[in-house]
Chain A
């Protein structure tokens, strides 16, 4: 981590009153607290945080999100999810409310196990949580310091689970709350899981989840994450995935809600032939910021990584994609590819793209590219010359750009249909607001 990182007491002060005292908690928490007290939370002077301003977190200290909540409130929110009645309610699911697993709202199939435990016990609990091997990222540290519960999902060798829904609901209060859940997903050899995560909520809150993912040989995790958080929410999410030989980690991020969404993804391709796909779409308006920052580390030979991030930005929205491909010595025949495509719908919208290649092997194929543009005038004119009104023509072209990105989603029909519906709905909503 950058040595010049200075403590930014402003932002850390929003959480400081809740940090446990060192050595009165477990070792991990003690280390995390020490890290935070030493380095603080980053401001824009820190390279990795240049484009994303944490001052969006506000000025009022965050209270703890409560385990006890109003069940009607949760039910009501659940029913506002897109296509809840048509598709989602029929999928096997686990529901997390305010960062805690909710057995009542969940319907867990027999094909995998889901267990929870207080986070402090993790180290003494059969080694469920991977050791962090030194914290490197501020929101990993914050999560570790403040996490209360760990949720552990395990798919055993050779089991093909199919489509599972994960819903995270945050029931905001008048006072800002924060939640710091810890997830561990473990897929044994040859296992297969398609996970659809939906993050939703209302009110003001800061959501700081950490996902630790272990994918064994020949196992596949397809993970689609849909951020539909409240308009006043901040998300600071960290994913750490480790993929073994010929394993596949396929992630697709769809960011629509939230005032600030920062999604850090670190993937380690640890053994020969591992594959990572990190694709996503950020469709943002107003003052929203969406930031996808990834580090794909090719540690072994013949691994493949693919990243395509699309930003569609209107009003004063800002989209960020910082993607790094790190090829370690000996990771020969690496095939890494990164692409950023942005559609700017207003002159005030902004996209920041920072690709980074760091390569220590000689026989590799790595590339990156970026396109930025407004709606194409010729395309607009073509549509209008066919009688289609200007706003409708714009709508068609934005929809085309958005739905085109769904072709990256190698998913079964329901999920793709859902995404399509979600995108179309938010396109309609935003147009309504404008007119």
Chain B
């Protein structure tokens, strides 16, 4: 099972102020089933862009390269179908949805995905039961279900709400874009445990982070360094510790 997620030579750009801006300049990355990979890299290097493109945001134009996910051409799929096939993106900045009730949103999402996966839909009672259970493991207050999605949530609450969605949607590939940023130590552990609980030979994760701290709880199989839209270096967990001590400068120079 080598080809679980295969990104090869991915180039992407965005039109900003009438000019084409190249953001990804040939990203190649393989994530086998069951592995947790980490991407680190300086601000603005293209990490979020990569995660958006994998999830299907159409604001970016892919100019070359391709991505296969579980043998399928990922870039040809609609975002909702990617989700159904098991891809989940925890947003760096979760979006607020005024007027959309969180419980309603979560149930719509869970059932949309279940329908596409050929599973039976959950009724309101069954769904709430499951959601409450997950809330407890994430030490979230039950009242987040009653509120509008992410509206007025604290930074940490938003991030936990992403982990809540991830847990409910049972992905086979989770992309976590700085889900640990802005979290206190306890919350960081909660997030890490949320991912660890999903770990299995059929689950992979791509974790984008700036902090070695998270990796104490969530031990990765591989660590990649991205600068200027390319992966310039890959290694084991020790690479993250090295970067934590020395910064990116020594690695960038070598590239």
Q: Are B59 and A377 in contact (CB under 8 A)?
A: yes
Which residue of chain B is the closest to A389 with respect to CB atoms?
Answer: B80
Q: Are B97 and A400 in contact (CB under 8 A)?
A: yes
For the complex formed, measure the closest distance between the CB of A407 and the CB atoms of chain B, giving whole angstroms.
9
Interface residues of B in 98-140 (CB under 8 A from A): 98-100, 105, 108-109, 112-113, 116
Q: What is the bound-complex CA distance between A400 and B57, given in angstroms?
A: 22
Interface size class of B (residues with CB under 8 A): 20 to 34
Q: Are B169 and A385 in contact (CB under 8 A)?
A: no
Q: Are B95 and A390 in contact (CB under 8 A)?
A: no
For the complex formed, measure the closest distance between the CB of A342 and the CB atoms of chain B, giving whole angstroms.
15
Q: Are A385 and B83 in contact (CB under 8 A)?
A: yes
Q: What is the bound-complex CA distance between A246 and B113, given in angstroms?
A: 54
Q: Cβ of A382 < 8 Å from any Cβ of B?
A: yes
Q: Cβ of A396 < 8 Å from any Cβ of B?
A: yes
Most buried by B among A382, A387, A392, A401: A387
Q: What is the bound-complex CA distance between A363 and B225, given in angstroms?
A: 62
Q: Are B112 and A389 in contact (CB under 8 A)?
A: yes
Q: Are A388 and B99 in contact (CB under 8 A)?
A: no
Q: What residues on B are CB-neighbors of A133 within 8 Å? A: none
Instruction: Number of A interface residues at 8 Å Cβ cutoff, please give it.
Output: 22
Q: Cβ of B32 < 8 Å from any Cβ of A?
A: no
Q: Known contacts A392-B108, A404-B99; is A384 also within 8 Å of B56 by CB?
A: yes
Q: Cβ of B78 < 8 Å from any Cβ of A?
A: yes
Q: Cβ of A73 < 8 Å from any Cβ of B?
A: no
For the complex formed, measure the closest distance between the CB of A405 and the CB atoms of chain B, giving whole angstroms.
9
Q: What is the bound-complex CA distance between A403 and B88, given in angstroms?
A: 29
Most buried by B among A386, A390, A393, A399: A386
Which of B78, B80, B95, B165 makes the CB contact (< 8 A) with A378? B95
Q: Are A387 and B169 in contact (CB under 8 A)?
A: yes
Q: What is the bound-complex CA distance between A377 and B57, given in angstroms?
A: 9
Q: Cβ of B79 < 8 Å from any Cβ of A?
A: yes
Which residue of chain A is the closest to B96 with respect to CB atoms?
Answer: A379
Q: Cβ of A397 < 8 Å from any Cβ of B?
A: yes
Q: What residues on A are CB-neighbors of B89 within 8 Å? A: 385
21 examples of A-B residue contacts, CB within 8 angstroms? A381-B55, A382-B94, A382-B95, A384-B56, A384-B78, A384-B79, A385-B57, A385-B80, A385-B82, A385-B88, A385-B89, A386-B80, A386-B109, A387-B83, A387-B109, A387-B169, A396-B105, A397-B97, A400-B97, A400-B98, A404-B98
